């Protein structure tokens, strides 16, 4: 009798602990429309502004043991404004695959990033369309004396009790 009661209590505990009463805590996609600026709202063609372009390598998956075994990765791309007083402006965030083909445009109009703010783009682990040599190209504009934006990526994967993670940093190419 005692074993039956313990078994029922244990089963009830497992059912309660596995239920999904919590809100889905996944990262919600940023609404870029709330950040868009019309070209007339700010004159970024002014000689007080400097434009640039940055490259960021990322990995949708990596190889393990052989070229036939891969681990899919979740990617978090950070667009960081290191300036304390001024916003920066990002005009383009294009995502390319290993072959250099454009997969998607995350930003296709001028947006702002407030002082010390970080915007994120999350690429799901199940989206391995970028491959092992995926990358981003960002076009941006800052005031002439400001610090350029920082572009970073964190790649992570967990399987069972094992996990792996690493990061990459963007480089200015123009």
Is residue 48 scored above 50 in pLDDT? yes
Q: Is the pLDDT of residue 115 over 60?
A: yes
Distances (CA, A) of 74 to 9, 61, 64: 37, 9, 16
Per DSSP, the three-state class of 112 is: strand
Alpha carbon distance 141, 118 (integer Å): 16
Per-residue pLDDT band at 34 (split at 50, 70, 90): low
Domains plus CATH for the chain?
A: 30-36+49-172 (2.60.290.11)
Q: What is the pLDDT of residue 26?
A: 39
Do 106 and 94 contact (CB within 8 A), yes or no? yes
Please, what is the end-to-end C-alpha distance for the chain in angstroms?
76
Q: Mean per-residue pLDDT for 103-131?
A: 92
């Amino acid at each position: 009798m005692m074993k039956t009661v313990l078994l029922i209590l244990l089963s009830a505990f497992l059912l309660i602990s596995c239920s999904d009463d919590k809100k889905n805590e996944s990262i919600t996609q940023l609404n870029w429309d709330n950040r868009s600026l019309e070209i007339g709202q700010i004159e970024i063609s002014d000689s007080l502004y400097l434009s640039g372009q940055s490259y960021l390598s990322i990995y949708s998956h990596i190889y393990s043991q052989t070229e036939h075994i891969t681990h899919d990765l979740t990617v978090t791309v950070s667009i960081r404004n290191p300036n304390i007083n001024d916003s920066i402006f990002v005009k383009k965030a294009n995502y390319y695959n290993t072959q250099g083909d454009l997969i998607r445009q995350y930003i296709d109009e001028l947006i702002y990033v407030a002082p010390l703010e970080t915007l994120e783009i999350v690429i799901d682990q199940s989206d391995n369309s970028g491959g092992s040599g995926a990358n981003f190209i960002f076009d941006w504009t800052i005031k002439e004396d400001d610090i350029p934006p920082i572009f970073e990526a964190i790649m992570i994967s967990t399987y069972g009790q094992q996990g792996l993670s690493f990061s990459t940093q963007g480089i200015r190419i123009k």
